[in-house]
Structure 1
Amino acid sequence: MGSGTMTTLEWQETTWEGKPAADVPAPKTTVASDTATINGEIEGQVTDRWVMSYAEDGTARFVGLTQITGTVAGRSGTFVLQHAGRFDAEGLHTDFTVVPDSGTGDLSGITGAGTFVNTGPEGEPTHYTFEPQFN
């Protein structure tokens, strides 16, 4: 199983109605996008899209898709991860799987699953584990 870190470069989040997320009290539903770099087992550039539901206590549940362009185990291409996760007192935790048939180039046929975890302060890199398989 491989591992590494992901560092967010830009984050944009609005409510379902398009208002800045920070301006609206919970409970609320938001959509967000971000870009990041990823290092370790996966090396490359990341683009994420998220849908989040915040509770009044500040916790949130979310789903999302991540497109990664880069290399895995020396193979180059693009692939997509599908996430389901949460933000709570323990930090961020998401489980993900590779979207079937999303791989391109040398990553065609990639499958696998993993986790992203961040228990540090905002802005700290997010740690991941990933077990890729190639068909």
Structure 2
Amino acid sequence: MIMIEEKYEPWEPIKELPSSPFFYEMYFKEGSLIILLKESDLVEKRMKIVFKNPLGYRIVNESGRLKKLDNPYIYTFCKTQQSNFLEWFNYESDGLFNDWDVTHYMVCNSDNIIDVITNQTPEVRWINY
């Protein structure tokens, strides 16, 4: 596999992002991928990230992504339009989405790394449980 030079930038969808979130829950409902994260000291508060109609996603335990975590340009919340995951997606889809404005979002948390490819801006907000 040919590896490209990946370029990530911080993704700050809302103020007061958790600095080291814990993975709480992830599920697919009515065409949307929903991710819930929490801070260790905020028991009743969760961050909800909704990706409507994601084109692709993966979740990998952080120990399975050690090379990625070794990159100094990886942030807890980041995004890119130039990654190996996007290259793989474009190859596998035979270029079907080349004319779409797709973005690769990455959420690094205490347990794993979640990657999502989408052409829609995700909805992010704090919710109370």
Same fold (TM over 0.5): no
Instruction: Identify which of structures 1 and 2 has the higher relative contact order when contacts are C-alpha pairs closer than 8 Å and 6+ apart.
Output: 2
Question: Which TM-score applies when normalising by structure 2?
Answer: 0.27
Q: Which structure is higher in strand share?
A: 1
TM-score normalised by length of structure 1: 0.26
